[in-house]
Amino acid sequence: MLIRNVDKNDFESIKEIKPVIDSVTFDDRILRQAKGDVDFLVLEDNGDLKCFVLLKWKGKDTHPEYPDIEDLYTKASERGKKYGSTLIAECEKMVREKGFNKIGLAVNPNENCSAHKLYKRLGFNDTGEKTYIDGVYNGVEDWCIDMEKSI
């Protein structure tokens, strides 16, 4: 198993993980990674890309004070094999090594209760702050809560 940074040539393989990702989003992540603002990480197993995540060093609007995990995504046929948990553990390690003592993420606890459960199992706690619209996808508002973990 190998965890590495996504490369500009990985677009098609990343699309195999998440078919709805577009090239504008992908290119923007590669650019931000080159500037050092994010690490766009992918987990490879047996030469096949299984799961990716965007680690944002400057956090998110609601919590710019610590790094944030965004868009954790495992190929649909490969879920439940701990690839997601492994990438989160790698993010925690990287964040700890850079001297931070907290890491965050956002989740829609109603629409994505299995991911919410997973994050709780991995030690993330709801911050208790108010829910907010994290984005609008195909006209549907994505209502999220923030979670954080002391590391």
Ligand X SMILES: CC(C)(COP(=O)(O)OP(=O)(O)OC[C@H]1O[C@@H](n2cnc3c(N)ncnc32)[C@H](O)[C@@H]1OP(=O)(O)O)[C@@H](O)C(=O)NCCC(=O)NCCS
Residues that bind ligand X (CB under 6 A): 51, 72-74, 79-85, 107, 112, 114-115, 117-118
Give me the amino acid identity at 16: E
* Distance of alpha carbon 128 from alpha carbon 111, whole angstroms: 18
When the beta carbons of 27 and 111 are compared against ligand X, the nearer one is 111
When the beta carbons of 62 and 85 are compared against ligand X, the nearer one is 85
* Distance of alpha carbon 31 from alpha carbon 38, whole angstroms: 9
Least distance between ligand X and beta carbon 99 (Å): 26
Please report where in the chains the tokens 């991995």 appear, as a residue.
122
When the beta carbons of 4 and 117 are compared against ligand X, the nearer one is 117
Nearest to 92 by CA among 104, 80, 81, 82: 104
Least distance between ligand X and beta carbon 36 (Å): 24
Is 50 strand, coil or helix?
strand
When the beta carbons of 53 and 95 are compared against ligand X, the nearer one is 53
* Distance of alpha carbon 67 from alpha carbon 45, whole angstroms: 26
Least distance between ligand X and beta carbon 77 (Å): 10
Q: Which residue is nearest to ligand X (CB)?
A: 84
When the beta carbons of 21 and 118 are compared against ligand X, the nearer one is 118
Least distance between ligand X and beta carbon 123 (Å): 13
Least distance between ligand X and beta carbon 9 (Å): 23
DSSP H helical segments within 61-141, as ranges? 83-97, 113-121
